[in-house]
Amino acid sequence: MNEYFSRSGLTQVDRTTSRAPSAVPAVQPITAQQGADPQAGRSRPGKPYNGEAGAALSEDDLASAAEYARVQARVADILAELRSTTGASTVQGAEANIQSLLPAPIILVPLPPASREVVESAVMLGKRIAEQSSYAHAAQANLRRGTVDQLLSTGN
């Protein structure tokens, strides 16, 4: 059995003729009433809509969207205060206000069932990580112009 075919037996493809474009059906716009219907809403992949679980998911989504909107509104307020000429706010004050919106970093070191010495070493490790993270934040915040120029020139 030979699976190889002769090229002389194949017909050539005619690339000069153009095909007629196929019509695509129009997409129906979604109205506000359709979006309010919980049965018409999209379910997440792998998570079918079922009563209370679907309601809890939508409440979680609404809570995260509300939190995001609250933070965006607060940032807009800070920037508006900074732009106003009558406000006594400074760039440093605005930066401090925006930094206060950021979540505080938390270091979690999982503790396996262990002895007292292992737990103490894990606590020391957490403290050491916290100290080194402050060095990393300070180093990233205070870059010299020459360092930035050198990094940008080596990136090409």
What is the tens place of the pLDDT at every residue in 106-119?
777 666 677 888 88
Which tokens go with 92?
Answer: 């440093």
The mean per-residue pLDDT over the stretch 9-19 comes to: 67
Confidence of residue 101 (pLDDT cuts 50, 70, 90): confident
Q: Is residue 18's pLDDT more than 60? A: yes
Question: What confidence category does residue 35 fall into, taking pLDDT thresholds of 50, 70 and 90?
Answer: very low
Token pair of 147 as six digits: 């360092």
* Residue 44 main-chain phi, psi, to 5 deg: -70, 150
Tally of CA atoms within 13 A in the half-sphere of 148 that contains its CB? 7
pLDDT at 124 over 80: yes
CA separation for the pair 51, 37 (Å, rounded) = 13
For the whole model, what pTM was predicted? Answer: 0.29
DSSP secondary structure code for residue 8 in this structure: G
Determine the pLDDT at residue 66: 82
Give 44's strand partners: 47
Tokens of residue 18, six digits: 């153009």
Which of helix, strand or coil describes residue 133? Answer: helix
- CB distance 77 to 88 below 8 Å: no
pLDDT at 33: 59
Which pLDDT score is estimated for 156?
54
Q: How many CB atoms lie within 10 A of CB 153?
A: 8
Q: Which residue has the higher pLDDT, 52 or 150?
A: 150
Q: Which of 108, 150, 112 is nearest to 129 (CA)?
A: 108
Q: How far apart are CA 135 and CA 149, in angstroms?
A: 22
